[in-house]
Amino acid sequence: MLRFSGRGETDVGRVREANEDSGFLGPYVALVADGVGGAAAGEVASATVAYVVSAIARLRRDQDPATVLADAIEAARESLQVGIDADLQRAGMATTLTVLATDGRSVALGHLGDSRGYLFRHGGLQQITTDHTYVQQMVEGGQLTPDAARHHPWRNVVLRSLHGGPLEVGQEPDILTLDLVPGDRVLLCSDGLTDLVEDRRISEALHVPDAGAAAGRLVAAALDAGGTDNVTCLVIDVVDGPPVVGDGQLLGAVGDVVNIVDPAAVRAP
CATH number, residue 202? 3.60.40.10
Does the structure show a pLDDT above 90 at 183? yes
Mean pLDDT across 89-105: 96
Query: For residue 182, what pLDDT is reported?
Result: 98
Residue 186 lies in a domain: yes
Residue 242 placed within a domain? yes
Q: Could you tell me if residue 268 is inside a domain?
A: no
Q: Within a domain: residue 25?
A: yes
For 88, residues 6+ apart whose C-beta sits below 8 A from its C-beta are none
Residue 178 resides in a domain:
yes
Closest by Cα among 173, 187, 224, 211 to 68: 173
Number of structural domains the chain divides into: 1
The model scores a pTM over 0.75: yes
The pLDDT of residue 245: 83
Structural domain contains residue 74: yes
Element (H, E) at 174: strand 174-178
Q: Is residue 266 part of a domain?
A: no
Cα 183 from Cα 264, distance rounded (Å): 37
Which residue range is the domain that position 9 belongs to? 2-260
Mean pLDDT of 99-106: 98
**269 part of a folded domain:** no
Q: How far is the C-alpha of 57 from the C-alpha of 249, rounded, in Å?
A: 15
Quick one: average pLDDT of 160-171?
87
